[in-house]
A and B are shown apart, each in its own frame.
Chain A
Amino acid sequence: MSVQIRSLTRRAPNASRKMLDGVSLTIEDGAFVALVGPSGAGKTTLLRTIAGLDGPYEGTVLVDGRVLAGRPMRERRIGFVFQNYALFRHMTVARNISFGLDVLPRGERPDRGAIAARVAELLELIQLPTLGGAYPDQLSGGQRQRVALARALATKPGLLLLDEPFGALDPIVRRQIRRWLRGLHDQLGLTTVLVTHDHDEALEVADRLVVMQNGRVVQEAAAETLDAAPATPFVMEFLGEALEFPGQVAHGRFLPDDPNVLSFAVGAGDGPATAYLRPHEARLVAAGGAARAIPLTGGQGGLRRLAVALGTREVEILVLPERLGQVGTEGLGLDIGRARLFRDGAPLAGAPPVASGQELPRVTVG
């Protein structure tokens, strides 16, 4: 099921603050979309609005081209998984899962055998075939999460909405469950919207990311392009560790304020600009500068973490371990040729494509 949202605005009750501010968004049928952003960005509010929870709003929300407001919930075909799972503690797992079927009017309700078969099928799907008789309080967090998912899936929704579903799980279970969820999405042909504040999770599981900040959509893009072409410095910083280098563009080159950072060619007009790049995208070069490298403990994906002492500050970068042997630790310069340039919070037109000088492996940095 597709979702179209046009200039959606919601205000906090009893306050003029806008929880959502002119949000427009299209979610294609069959897409797996992650809403990401810091807490208070309006992700959950947006998700709840799509589900038709909460009060009035301005703008339009269409699901499969139709306004949902005023239509009975069971016709909406929306499955929702809450952050706290909201399982019914007084019911067994099986009764929780069959709830959506049990409350159907008599004419539409499958008979007992069919409901039991559907529950068994879902228990199989969530890999808890023996736990139908257990109560939610007897389950672990990951099991509860899957039961909540099975409950939402029992009525065969077309649109699955998940509010921080992995928040309370430990990292291993988290990774397992999100893989499994992605598989389920593909297998059942769902349209899925996931809210998370963890960009790693979003990048791993979703096709498209919607980055939100202060009730607005800052950028909406496929996972791969988001990192390459962030719309604002906020997106750049939200998606991972980012280094910031203020400077000037003059005569077709970006000149960092720091003399130990190398300039590079850009196709932009003269004026102030700020360069952002990931720690693994910076390169150390033996340029006779005054920068010094100080090895630090730790690293990521086979890369070594270094502090680079520039004139007035230190930045931490990631390099191949052998690189240090090649350039030494003194008299260095920092090459930031792969940086994204921003002026006044917007990407600078004509900045070089990111793919200049692919010397280092691309890793996602957490």
Chain B
Amino acid sequence: MVFCLRRRDGLPGLSISIAFTLVWIGLIVALPLTALVLRPWQDGGGVMLRVLHDARMYAALRVSFGCAALAAAIDVPLGLLLAWALVRARLPGRRAIDALIDLPFALPTAVTGITLATLYGPTGWVGALLARAGIRVAYTPAGIVAALMFVGLPFIVRAVEPVLRGLPPELEEAGLLLGASPLQNFRRVILPPLLPPLVAGFSLAFARCIGEYGSVIFIAGNQPFRSEIAPLLIVVRLQEYDYNGATAIALILLMSALACMTGVAALRRRVSRGLVARGAA
């Protein structure tokens, strides 16, 4: 399919570019992934069987995926609000906020982790307040979710923002003129075109959150079966010189992530109906 391209295409040197891209993808992405898939079987299937019976790993995967999904899900409305404020409201200091949103991308994740741990810790600004209300965030799964929300938010904002900016204001006016209430207008007119970028942002944030390590381990408490994430368990196994165990967990993490991403992609196609040219969805 890739090779039956039209002769005249917008991009010059397309066939060379594609060949180059394929080689590059092979070297950078496919090769390590293949190694990851093959490594656990090197010493026979026994390692894999052992790992598959490891309840601690399942707990860690549950924590990782559960917290990532929850954090990304909470980020969706927050990111939408933030994007809305950036695009529609003439906020003072809009540019500063705009720059701040990308900060989680730039910060070393360990810095994020330590900052959040300090903030939400029992003596931190927020942590002390919450402790008075009887809520513990640091060293619980709630802390993991808090850290992941911080990391995932920019994905949502940056995915929604351009689409929101490109949404003609006449759409809303048309809805109102046709008698829709503001709530109906939001639900029926504004939200549907924003769903594809919201789902895309969600999937990016979710993917990032599954693999997130640095920002989580300082705040999570890392108790096995409760607040230990899968990436940390891999590191633990590596420190125990159990390379096969580590790669086996990594493989399962990879497979689960792949399954989740496929599901999200299917969802995105569903909500994109009519919004993208036929066949390109």
**Contact yes or no, B171 A103, CB < 8 A:** no
Let me know if B275 is at the binding interface, CB within 8 A: yes
> Please, which residues of chain B bring their CB within 8 A of the CB of A84?
168, 170
Among residues of B, the one whose C-beta sits closest to the C-beta of A163 is: B170
- Say yes or no: A103-B181 contact (C-beta < 8 A), given A90-B192, A90-B275, A91-B274: yes
> Please, which residues of chain A bring their CB within 8 A of the CB of B171?
86, 88
Let me know if B179 is at the binding interface, CB within 8 A: yes
B interface: dominant SS: helix
The size of the chain A interface, using a CB distance under 8 A, is: 30
- Say yes or no: A103-B170 contact (C-beta < 8 A), given A89-B275, A90-B273, A155-B178: no
> Please, which residues of chain B bring their CB within 8 A of the CB of A83?
170
**Contact yes or no, B175 A99, CB < 8 A:** yes
Stretch at the interface among A57-65, A72-80, A201-209, A316-324: A72-80
Q: How far is the CB of A113 from chain B (nearest CB, A)?
A: 20
Let me know if A135 is at the binding interface, CB within 8 A: yes
Let me know if B214 is at the binding interface, CB within 8 A: no
**Contact yes or no, A137 B178, CB < 8 A:** no
Query: Chain A 269-309 against B: per-residue CB contact (8 Å), 1 yes, 0 no?
Result: 00000000000000000000000000000000000000000
Let me know if B262 is at the binding interface, CB within 8 A: no
Among residues of A, the one whose C-beta sits closest to the C-beta of B174 is: A86
Let me know if A158 is at the binding interface, CB within 8 A: no
> Please, which residues of chain A bring their CB within 8 A of the CB of B179?
72-74, 100, 103-104, 155
**Contact yes or no, A90 B193, CB < 8 A:** yes
- Docked Cα-Cα span, A2 to B179, in Å, equals 20
Which of the residues B176, B274, B277 comes within 8 Å of A73, measured between beta carbons?
Answer: B176
- Docked Cα-Cα span, A101 to B273, in Å, equals 22
Among residues of B, the one whose C-beta sits closest to the C-beta of A136 is: B274
Let me know if A51 is at the binding interface, CB within 8 A: yes
**Contact yes or no, A88 B177, CB < 8 A:** no
Q: How far is the CB of B100 from chain A (nearest CB, A)?
A: 26
> Please, which residues of chain A bring their CB within 8 A of the CB of B184?
103
Which of the residues A79, A89, A99, A136 comes within 8 Å of B180, measured between beta carbons?
Answer: A99
**Contact yes or no, B274 A80, CB < 8 A:** no
> Please, which residues of chain A bring their CB within 8 A of the CB of B170?
82-84, 86
Let me know if B188 is at the binding interface, CB within 8 A: yes
Contact residues, A76-125 vs B (CB, 8 A): 78-80, 82-84, 86, 88-92, 99-100, 102-104
- Say yes or no: A135-B177 contact (C-beta < 8 A), given A88-B189, A90-B192, A99-B188: no
Contact residues, A128-156 vs B (CB, 8 A): 135-138, 151-152, 154-155
Q: How far is the CB of A102 from chain B (nearest CB, A)?
A: 8
- Docked Cα-Cα span, A74 to B180, in Å, equals 8
> Please, which residues of chain A bring their CB within 8 A of the CB of B180?
73, 99, 103
**Contact yes or no, A80 B174, CB < 8 A:** yes
Contact residues, A243-270 vs B (CB, 8 A): none
Let me know if B88 is at the binding interface, CB within 8 A: no
- Docked Cα-Cα span, A129 to B189, in Å, equals 24
**Contact yes or no, A103 B274, CB < 8 A:** no
> Please, which residues of chain A bring their CB within 8 A of the CB of B178?
73, 99-100, 103, 151-152, 154-155
Contact residues, B147-182 vs A (CB, 8 A): 168, 170-171, 173-181
Let me know if B132 is at the binding interface, CB within 8 A: no
- Docked Cα-Cα span, A342 to B181, in Å, equals 52
**Contact yes or no, B274 A90, CB < 8 A:** yes
Query: Chain B 118-134 against A: per-residue CB contact (8 Å), 1 yes, 0 no?
Result: 00000000000000000
- Docked Cα-Cα span, A91 to B184, in Å, equals 14
- Docked Cα-Cα span, A171 to B252, in Å, equals 62
Q: How far is the CB of A50 from chain B (nearest CB, A)?
A: 11
Which of the residues B173, B176, B192, B274 comes within 8 Å of A92, measured between beta carbons?
Answer: B274
Which of the residues A82, A135, A155 comes within 8 Å of B173, measured between beta carbons?
Answer: A82
**Contact yes or no, B177 A137, CB < 8 A:** no
Among residues of B, the one whose C-beta sits closest to the C-beta of A138 is: B278
Beyond A99-B188, A103-B188, A104-B179, list 13 extra A-B contacts (CB 8 Å): A51-B177, A53-B173, A53-B177, A80-B174, A83-B170, A86-B173, A88-B174, A100-B178, A103-B180, A103-B181, A103-B184, A136-B274, A154-B178
Q: Which A residues have a C-beta under 8 Å from some C-beta of B?
A: 51, 53, 72-74, 78-80, 82-84, 86, 88-92, 99-100, 102-104, 135-138, 151-152, 154-155
